[in-house]
Structure 1
C-alpha cells in the first residue's frame, strides 16, 4: 500500500512538471509590471511566467510608463481585449497576431518602436501609434477599425482603403508620401488631419466632390484625387506649402503654433498696430500663453527666414 501511494505521488509530481508550461519574458521591467499588477502568480523575477497565468488574463493590459523596452511574451495573453503600452521605450518590433480579441491598442509615444504586426485583428477598433518610429504599417485586415492616430510619427505611406468603418484619422506631422482613403466611408469621417506632411501630394478619396472633405485638414500642397491617373496629371506648378499652423482660432488663454522651420518667431499686434506680444518659436508644436491679452481682434505675424504670414487672431 505504501509503495503504491509512493508511486502515485511520483506520478502526480511528474505530471505537474510535465504540464507546467512557461512563457519567456526577457524584459525584467515587463515581468516586474506583470508581478506588480497581479499577472505573474509566482511573483519572482526569473525571466518567465506561467503560460496559464497569461492565458487567464482578460480585459485590458495597461502598463503605460513602466520603462519597458521589449514585450516579448505578449503573444501568450490570448484573451485580453485591450493593450496600453504607451510611454515605454520599446525598441523591439511587436507582433500581436496571436492576440486576436484586441479591440484597442495604444503605443503612444513609444518613440523607438520600429514595427507593429496586427494582421487579422478583425475586432480592432482603436489604434494609437502617436510618435513611434514605424515607417510602414499594414492595417488591411483590421476591418473594424474606427479610430487611427499616428500623429508626430514616421509613417511614409498609409493605406486605409480596406477600413470601411474608419471615422477618425490623425496623421499630422508624419513623413507621408502616400495616403489612400478610398474606403467608401469618406462621408462619415468626422475627424481627419493630415497636415504637416510636406511631401504628400495626392490623397486618394472616394469622390473629390464629397462635401465632407472641406472639413478635413490637409497641407496646401496636398490634393484630393480619385485615382492614380489624376495624381499623375496634377499640375507641376509649385504650390507654396504652409510654414505655420495656428490654432485654435478663436482662442481664449492659449494658442498652438506649429512651425515647419527651425528659426521663426511670432509677433501679435492689436487693432491700432501696436505690438503687444512676441516670442521665438521652436520647430514643431509651440504652446503660447496669451492669457494676458484682452478680448478682441489681433493680427499674428509669423516670421521665418524665408516667409512671413499674417493671420487674424480672435481672442475671446
Structure 2
C-alpha cells in the first residue's frame, strides 16, 4: 500500500502525541524513587503499594503518609531521597545514619519534626518548612543553613558535630540550641530572644553576648577561647559551665537561682564575684580561684 508523505508525517505526529500524553499521565500518577534502598523500605513498610522495586510509587500512596521513619532499617543506606517531594502531608521524617549529601524538602510544608542525624549534608534550606518544631541535624558536614527565620514554630535546634564557622540566628521561637563540636568563631543569637538552653562546648569562640537572651537559664560554653561574656540583665541563670576558657573576670552576684557553676581551667580568672550570703550548691573551680563579694 502506498502511503503519501503528508499522511506519513501526520501519523508520526499522532504517535508522538500519544506517547507524550502517556508520559504526562504517568507523571500525574507516579512519584520517581530512584534509590532502591529508599523504595525497598517503603515496600517493607507497606507504603509503596505495588510491592515492586521499579523506581516509582503512586502519588496517592505518598500523599497518605504523615510519619515516615527510614532509620535503622537494615535494608542498606539511602543516598538519594528524591521522591520525598511526593509526601506532601508528611509531618515527621526520620532518616538517621544514611548517606545523604543533599535533600530538598521544599514540598514538605507540613513537616514539624525532622531527624537527619549522621548523614553527609553540607547545607540545607528549611525556608519552606514553617511548621518545624524540632530540627535535628547533628553529625553532618554542615557549614550553612538557610531559612531558619522562616521556621516560626521552631523550639529545638540541634546542630552539634558539624562544620559551622559562623552562624547568626534570628528566630524568636527558639528555646533550645545545641551547637557543640563545631568550628565556630562568630556566633550571634541576638534574635533568639526566648532561648532557654544553649550548648556551645568545644568551639573556638572568643566572645559571647547574651544580653538579648532574657529567658536564658542554662549555658554550657566550656572548652572555647572565651575572653569575655556578657550575660546581660537576666537573673534566671541556673547552670553556668564556663571551664577551659580564657576568662579573666566574672560577676555572678545577681544570679541567686544558680544551681551549679563550673569555672576551673580559666588561668587568668582568680576571683569570681558573688553577693553577700549568696549560696551556690555545686561549684567546680581550680585551686587558685575564690568567690568573693569584692574582686579587684
- TM-score, with structure 1 as normaliser: 0.60
Q: Any conservation in 1 of the 2:141–2:163 contact (CA below 8 Å)?
A: yes
SS in 1 for 2:25: helix
1: CA distance between counterparts of 2:167 and 2:115?
A: 18
Q: Any conservation in 2 of the 1:22–1:48 contact (CA below 8 Å)?
A: yes
Could you tell me which of 161, 166, 171 is aligned with 2:174?
166
Could you tell me which of 221, 225, 246 is aligned with 1:221?
225
Superposed displacement of residue 15, structure 1: 8.8
SS in 1 for 2:42: helix
CA 38–214 in structure 1, closer or farther in 2 if over 3 Å, else same? closer
* Number of residues of Structure 1 aligned to a counterpart in Structure 2: 214
- TM-score, with structure 2 as normaliser: 0.64
Question: 1:140 aligns to what?
Answer: 149
CA 170–42 in structure 1, closer or farther in 2 if over 3 Å, else same? same
Could you tell me which of 151, 154, 164 is aligned with 2:163?
154
Q: Does 1:122 align with 2:125?
A: no
Could you tell me which of 184, 193, 196 is aligned with 1:176?
184
Deviations 1:160-202 (A, max 9, x none): 21x111111110111122222112524xx3321111002x224
Q: Any conservation in 2 of the 1:131–1:153 contact (CA below 8 Å)?
A: yes
Question: 1:62 aligns to what?
Answer: 69
The 5 Å alignment of 1:293-312 reads none
Deviations 1:199-254 (A, max 9, x none): x224343438x5x657311145234459xxxxxxxxxxxx649xxxxxxxx9xxxx
Deviations 1:139-173 (A, max 9, x none): 12112110011111122222221x11111111011
Which structure is higher in strand share? 1
CA 15–26 in structure 1, closer or farther in 2 if over 3 Å, else same? closer
Structure with higher Rg: it is: 2
Q: Does 1:34 align with 2:38?
A: no
Q: Which sections of structure 1, spanning at least 5 residues, go unmatched? A: 1-13, 227-238, 242-249, 251-298, 300-308, 312-316
Q: Does 1:197 align with 2:203?
A: yes
2: CA distance between counterparts of 1:17 and 1:116?
A: 31
Give the superposed CA RMSD.
3.1
Q: Any conservation in 2 of the 1:183–1:206 contact (CA below 8 Å)?
A: no
Question: 1:264 aligns to what?
Answer: none
Could you tell me which of 101, 107, 114 is aligned with 1:98?
107
2: CA distance between counterparts of 1:55 and 1:84?
A: 17
Q: Does 1:18 align with 2:28?
A: no
2: CA distance between counterparts of 1:184 and 1:149?
A: 15
SS in 2 for 1:94: coil
Deviations 1:5-52 (A, max 9, x none): xxxxxxxxx999936522111111001011111111111101111122
Q: Any conservation in 2 of the 1:191–1:216 contact (CA below 8 Å)?
A: yes
Question: 1:81 aligns to what?
Answer: 91
